[in-house]
Amino acid sequence: IKPSELVSASLERISATDVKVRAFLSVHGDVALQRATQLDEVPVDAGLLYGIPSAIKDNMNTKGLPTTCGSKILENYESAYDATVISKLNDHGSVVVGKANMDEFAMGSSGENSGFYPTHNPWDLSRVPGGSSSGSAAAVAAGQVLFSLGSDTGGSIRQPASYCGVVGLKPTYGLVSRFGLVSYASSFDQIGPLTQNVEDNAIVLQAIAGHDSYDSTSANVSIPDYLAALTGDIKGLRIALPQEYFGEGMDAGVREQVEKAIKTLEGLGATVGTVSLPHSKYAVAAYYLLAPAEASSNLARFDGVRYGLRVEGENLIDMYKRTRAEGFGEEVKNRIMLGTYALSSGYYDAYYLRAQKVRTLIKQDFDQVFENYDVILSPTAPTTAFPLGVKNDDPVTIYLNDIYTIPVNLAGIPAISVPCGLADGLPVGVQLIGKAFDESTLLRVAHAFE
């Protein structure tokens, strides 16, 4: 197949399905086809992703295309440069067909915080796809593209992957460059691949991982051959089950599928033990202080001067206020206020500093478990995809949805969500958590299991 044929097929699938799914905020058929036609002339071994159509979460800069972050404040903003991940995809021959829908500035777990319209779950259009990488997960699940990139600050790749029945990997903090990713909470954000299977995930990771001098938090580590890790052999692998992750609040259907997954892995020769991650119960609370604190600072740049929307006012300060009042959605405003409060002098020690200490304790919990185990296994989320609309007015319930994914971002370690069955006809994901920079083991286990 030629790149132009692949890209045409992707565009046809998008026009046939996206009226209902709404995975995309913008589709760029002409640009994509033009690039694909150029690639037709290039030899087939030109790159790991030669001719492969992809969707990019709309918080990554793609030169010449929009980058809205799902926000009205950036509605007409056009990216001035390519994020490092986009340059890498281009070098490997991928063709970006469009920008994927998302919760505004990646704040959310259902896709319903998009400033434009919610994405629908391709498995059941009355349900959410998860979030915040809602469009990235739905586009892969609906067969619109072969892979997408998402970003994960507290679960935003893994949870939608779980709800949409696809594979989603959050790499170790620092493995993939954040240059050109619009920051939400910079010390947590990581870009990662969403794919239909583990092998594709390994290939995309290979293409995007690696040191980047444009990102000061980028790790200077050598990148292994991820495909070579997919041996199918997990004999002797030690799997830890954290007791805190198997308590109340998990749906019976989710529990059943995850327990089945554990049995399958044991059948493949892995051994299983129960462990404790005692500080994980503080993870959500710590995250919802730290992430908004970082966000309140990062989002200060959207002031009507440099990017996107400007609402004229009586003077400069009035213009800032009107622009931000009109441009940001409800949840973003909540988080900016929460973060500003947590960072205020007089409250800093009580909130921000304490939450940072909790973060360290959570990381130590993981370190301790990894002294005796290779991976940690849990559900990705406590439930399957819930109906659109039901949790809109209940932010705390929706925050609790991230209970199994958030500790991983606090610790900066990698984790993957892999489909492990259906509960009432909806996909369930199992989460595998690994040691820092040990994506190879995660991919190996996920692949053996798949």
Which residues bind to ligand GLN, rule: CB under 6 A? Answer: 106-109, 132, 152-156, 184, 291, 402
Q: In the bound complex, what is the minimum distance in angstroms from residue 155's beta carbon to ligand GLN?
A: 5
Active site residue 156: yes
Whether 96 and 32 have beta carbons less than 8 Å apart is answered as yes
Output the smallest distance, CB 118 to ligand GLN, in A: 15
Are 322 and 313 in contact by the 8 Å Cβ rule? The answer is yes
Q: Two tokens at 215?
A: 């990102």
Least separation in angstroms between CB 187 and ligand GLN: 13
* Min dist. Cβ of residue 368 to ligand GLN (A): 25
- Nearer to ligand GLN (CB atom), residue 14 or residue 415: 415
**Of the listed 71, 156, 218, 280, which one is catalytic?**
156
Give catalytic status of residue 57 as yes or no: yes
Residue 30, H or E segment: helix 29-40
Report the half-sphere exposure of 409 (CA within 13 A, side-chain side).
Answer: 31
- Which one, 332 or 423, has the nearer CB to ligand GLN? 332
Determine which one of 57, 99, 170, 435 is catalytic.
57
Task: Identify the H or E element spanning 84.
Answer: helix 84-91
Active site residue 134: no
Residue among 79 and 156 whose Cβ is closer to ligand GLN: 156
CB atoms under 10 Å from CB of 24, counted, come to: 22
When the beta carbons of 183 and 195 are compared against ligand GLN, the nearer one is 183
The residue (of 231 and 397) whose beta carbon lies closer to ligand GLN is 397
**Minimum separation from the CB atom of position 201 to ligand GLN (A):** 18
Distance between CA atoms of 258 and 278, rounded to whole angstroms? 21
Kindly list the strands in the beta sheet with 53-57, ordered across the sheet, starting from the edge strand earlier in the chain: 24-27, 95-100, 53-57, 147-152, 190-195, 167-170, 415-423, 426-434, 375-379, 238-242, 271-275
Establish whether the linkage from the previous residue to 162 is cis, with ω within 30° of 0: no
Catalytic residue among 109, 132, 162, 177: 132
- Which residues are tagged catalytic? 57, 132, 156
